[in-house]
Amino acid sequence: MGMTRRWLTAALATAAALVLGAGTGQAAGREPTGPVQPNILTAAAYSLAAPAIAPPGANDWSCKPSERHPNPVLLSNGTTANAYENWANLSQKLADAGYCVFAGNFGGTPGTFLQTVGPIADTTKALAAFGDKILAATGAKKLDVVGHSQGGMNIRYWIKYLGGADKISRLVGLSPSNHGTDLFGLLSTLEMIPGVPAALSTVCQACNEQAVGSDFLTDLNAGGETVPGIQYTVIQTRYDDVVTPYTSAFLKAAPNVKNILLQNVCGLDFTDHLGITYDPVAEGLVLNALDPAHAKTPPCVPVPPVIS
């Protein structure tokens, strides 16, 4: 009965969120949010009944940034993930730390479970518009963006082509697909089979665009991977099983780039690609990247992979 009640509550919250325009920036005040989750699997299960619900601590449109944290934090989803599924832990930690936090769903059919699967340029255009609404609502001059996987890479498209260079102060990528993935050679092989890329694009154009050597990534990385004036932090795990090889997440060295291998901070951490947004060490590193003046060494505790 308790589980039934929770699922009913989630469904009602979804309906309310849709009425209020959850994840669109159109709602006044605080959007409905779901509870904090311990990992992405429990978050995904919850969001099956509430795919449009905002993650905890996020999307309070009356939030005004503090003097210590003047930039709102925008959370950018990974491929196939909705905002709640991706951020149902870190969002609350950021809110508890005093940030105005926002997350939305783009690149998928509104109100459905699968998001961030459409053409990356289209997803990023919608995300950039969402960012403009955040700046207008909060009165802030710039945003800090934290992105997972595709969400950590596609912000660079916003910066390069959509005016993001003047609106973004920090970009923190968690296992970002900056140079694509070969999925241990599988995706690269499939991409060479006639008809497969076209078939894949019907369900996930973003997957094709994140293949190593894709036209999209070749264009994105041409002429320099970063721009002056933005601080870039990449947090990556050696055990990434989606962005492979794991080193493809890292950006080229530059004065404003910090590449962090999670296992150099905590050798006991076996977090994989899906688990990194819920990983306590990675979350601590995100907080440090957003507020380096008050950085703290994250506690090193054993963390297993989500999928072993």
Mean pLDDT of 280-289: 98
Residue 101's pLDDT is 98
Q: How far apart are CA 172 and CA 153, in angstroms?
A: 10
Share of the chain above pLDDT 90, in %: 80
Q: How far apart are CA 30 and CA 20, in angstroms?
A: 10
Residue owning tokens 């609106």: 167
Which of 119-123, 244-248, 297-301 is the least confident region? 297-301
156: helix, strand or coil: helix
Tell me the average pLDDT of the chain.
88
Residue 13's pLDDT is 41
User: pLDDT category, 195, cuts 50, 70, 90?
Assistant: low
Residue 187's pLDDT is 47
Q: Which pLDDT tens digit goes with each residue over 225-275?
A: 999 999 999 999 999 999 999 999 999 999 999 999 999 999 999 999 999
Position 8 pLDDT exceeds 70: no
Residue 14's pLDDT is 40
Chain centre distance of CA 217: 18
Mean pLDDT of 38-67: 97
Position 102 pLDDT exceeds 90: yes
- Check: CB of residue 275 under 8 Å from CB of residue 306: yes
Name 173's bridge partners: 147, 234
Is the omega angle on the peptide bond into residue 65 within 30 degrees of 0, that is, cis?
Answer: no
Structure tokens given for 50: 């509430």
Helix (H) or strand (E) holding 103: strand 101-103
Helix (H) or strand (E) holding 137: helix 120-138
Residue owning tokens 């053409």: 119
Residue 308's pLDDT is 54
Q: Which pLDDT tens digit goes with each residue over 139-172?
A: 999 999 999 999 999 999 999 999 999 999 999 9
pTM beyond 0.85: yes
Phi, psi for residue 248 in degrees, rounded to 5: -70, -10
Position 16 pLDDT exceeds 50: no
Residue 305's pLDDT is 85
Position 211 pLDDT exceeds 70: yes
Phi, psi for residue 132 in degrees, rounded to 5: -60, -40
Mean pLDDT of 123-139: 98
Residue 302's pLDDT is 75
Burial class from Cβ neighbours inside 10 Å (0-12, 13-18, 19+) for residue 227 reads middle
Mean pLDDT of 49-65: 97
**40-294 homologous superfamily:** Alpha/Beta hydrolase fold, catalytic domain (3.40.50.1820)
